[in-house]
Amino acid sequence: MRAVIDTGDPGLEEWKRLFGQLWRIRAFEGQVQTLAAAGEVPGFAHLSTGQEAVAVGVCAHLGREDALFTSHRGHGHVLAKGSDARAMLAEIIGRSTGLCQGHGGSMHLVDAPNGVLGATGVVGGNLPLAAGAAWAAQARGKAAISVVFFGDGATGAGIFHETVNLSVLWQLPVLFVCENNGYAEFTSREEHSTVGSVRAFADPYGMAAATVDGNDLPAVFEAAREATARVRSGAGPYLLECMTHRMAGHYVGDAQHYRSREELAAVTAKCPIERMKRRLLGLAVAREELDAIGEAAIREMAQAVADARAGAPADPRMALCHVYGAPALQANPGAGE
Ligand SMILES: Cc1ncc(C[n+]2csc(CCOP(=O)(O)OP(=O)(O)O)c2C)c(N)n1
Ligand SMILES: [Mg+2]
């Protein structure tokens, strides 16, 4: 933690708060896992267990006015940005009290008043949207920046390269945060790409970039502090590659036959929460205080599930509202025959 304390250290109370944020994401997704296993989550649920330090370390530097875009693995990012856990859970289990009135679900969380302009299940689909929001901020002369979280697999999509090229050309205020967990679904990075480091993709485009240990909260915090400050200053886009590991399967229910027991044990040993706990213990924070922070997060999320469940189910008659098509087209396709 020393290096961080020397440069922009937010102080012990803030580190404890951020440790609590790691726990809030872990506890939130623990609830999602239980709900999904019980069949209460329509569609797939992808957990970010093991990757929480990226969400917390980056979002610590964002305000509500900054735009955030995320992927199919986005619960942690949205929570760390400050969205309401109850409304998120209600969305995930299809309640009308959800962030999107239950129309979007786990992979399509949107909370515009909080700057969460969207999650998407289309791998790489969030990248040009983030550049668009950055372009809008630039055109309006606003200080806000745009941040997009995506996986290493998304860099195989052409749209990643198109977006980076234009972002550098137009010097857009966009921060690309790649969570490099070494897998795209069930395929390891070695099996699907000849380019090991995602950071290397920045060089030919002349984009500033850094790679950081994504399981080390203070390291991510410091790297993101530099990256966001640079993007805010008008110096153009930035790529922050966070090396991390997903401790769970690709989705809830993935038996992970493609990973050895040894690999899973090694990944579990790198848990970002345990790591931060050791750091804080080293700074003489009492074990009891840290345990209480985790327990409070678990209680908060259990209550959030109860609150979410109390909401009315999304009304199927509303399914075609808030879409681009005119309501008349949705009412009765057979009319006029
Ligand atoms: C355009 C598109 N192609 C394929 C898929 C199927 N798919 C869902 S997740 C995924 C892997 C994504 O890997 P990565 O970007 O590394 O994210 P991670 O799941 O590791 O967080 C794929 C190929 C999709 N959703 N969208
Ligand atoms: Mg990946």
> For each of the chain's 337 residues, which pLDDT tens digit applies?
433 444 579 999 999 999 999 999 999 999 999 999 999 999 999 999 999 999 999 999 999 999 999 999 999 999 999 999 999 999 999 999 999 999 999 999 999 999 999 999 999 999 999 999 999 999 999 999 999 999 999 999 999 999 999 999 999 999 999 999 999 999 999 999 999 899 999 999 999 999 999 999 999 999 999 999 999 999 999 999 999 999 999 999 999 999 999 999 999 999 999 999 999 999 999 999 999 999 999 999 999 999 999 999 999 888 888 887 655 545 544 443 3
What length does the chain have? Answer: 337
Q: What is the pLDDT of residue 5?
A: 40
93: in domain: yes
Q: What is the pTM of this model?
A: 0.95
CA 108 / ligand 1 centre spacing (Å): 14
173 belongs to a structural domain: yes
Number of domains in the chain: 1
Distance (Å) from CA 76 to ligand 1 centroid: 17
State the closest ligand 1 atom to the C-alpha of 124, by its place in the atom list counted from 1: 1
Name residue 179's beta-bridge partners.
151, 242
Q: Which of 299, 329, 325, 319 is nearest to 27 (CA)?
A: 299
Which residue's alpha carbon is at the smallest distance from atom 3 of ligand 1? 123
Q: What pLDDT shows up at residue 320?
A: 82
Residue 195, classed as helix, strand or coil, is: coil
Residue 160 three-state SS: helix
Atom of ligand 1 nearest to the CA of 51: 21
Ligand nearest to the CA of 48: 1
Answer whether residue 84 is part of any domain: yes
Cβ neighbors of 305 (< 8 A, separation 6 or more) are 31, 35, 89
- State which residues have CB under 5 angstroms from ligand 2, the bound ion: 151-153, 181, 183
Q: 72 C-alpha vs ligand 1 centroid, how far in Å?
A: 8
Burial string for 211-235 (b: 16+ CB within 10 Å, else e) reads bbbbbbbbbbbbbbbbbbebbeeee
Nearest-angstrom CA–CA distance, 284 and 161: 46
pLDDT confidence of residue 204: 97
**Two tokens, residue 275:** 């790591």
Pocket test for ligand 1, best of 185, 189, 254 (most atoms within 8 A of CB): 185
The answer as to whether 10 is a domain residue is yes
Give 3 Cα–ligand 2 centroid separation in angstroms: 29
Q: Has residue 281 been placed in a domain?
A: no
Whether 50 contacts 128, CB under 8 Å: no
Strands 187-188 and 208-213: unpaired
pLDDT of residue 118: 95
Label residues 154-177 b or e (16+ Cβ within 10 Å = b).
bbbbebbbebbebbbebebbbbbb
For 242, the token pair is 């966070």
Residue 48 alpha carbon, nearest atom of ligand 1: 21
DSSP string, 52-113: HHHHHHHHTT--TTSEEEE-TT-HHHHHHHT--HHHHHHHHTTBTTSTTTTSS-GGG--BGG
294 touches 23 (CB < 8 A): yes
**Is 288 exposed, middle or buried, given 0-12, 13-18 or 19+ CB atoms closer than 10 A?**
exposed
In which domain, by residue range, is 252 found? 2-269+286-313
- What is the domain-level CATH number for residue 131? 3.40.50.970
Identify the nearest ligand to the CA of 181 by its number.
Answer: 2
CA of 181 to the centre of ligand 2 (A): 5
Answer whether residue 6 is part of any domain.
Answer: yes
- Judge contact between 147 and 62, C-beta under 8 A: yes
| Nearest atom of ligand 1 to the alpha carbon of 180 | 16
Pocket residues: Cβ below 6 A from ligand 1: 72-73, 121-123, 150-154, 179, 181, 183-185, 250
- DSSP assignment string, 216-253: -HHHHHHHHHHHHHHHHTT---EEEEEE---SS-SSTT
Q: Which atom of ligand 1 is nearest to the CA of 184?
A: 13
Tokens found for residue 88: 């998120």
The answer to whether residue 196 is domain-embedded is yes
Determine the pLDDT at residue 328: 52
- Number of neighbouring beta carbons within 10 Å of residue 204: 11
Q: For residue 325, is it within any domain?
A: no
Identify any residues that bridge with 151 across adjacent strands, giving them in sequence order. 179
pLDDT at residue 327 in the model: 58
Task: Write the DSSP symbol of residue 283.
Answer: T
DSSP H or E segment with residue 307: helix 287-309
CB atoms near residue 295 (< 10 Å): 12
Where does 96-233 show beta strands of DSSP type E? 116-119, 146-151, 174-180, 183-184, 187-188, 208-213
Q: Whose CA is nearest to atom 9 of ligand 1?
A: 185
Q: Which ligand is the nearest neighbour of the Cα of 43? A: 1
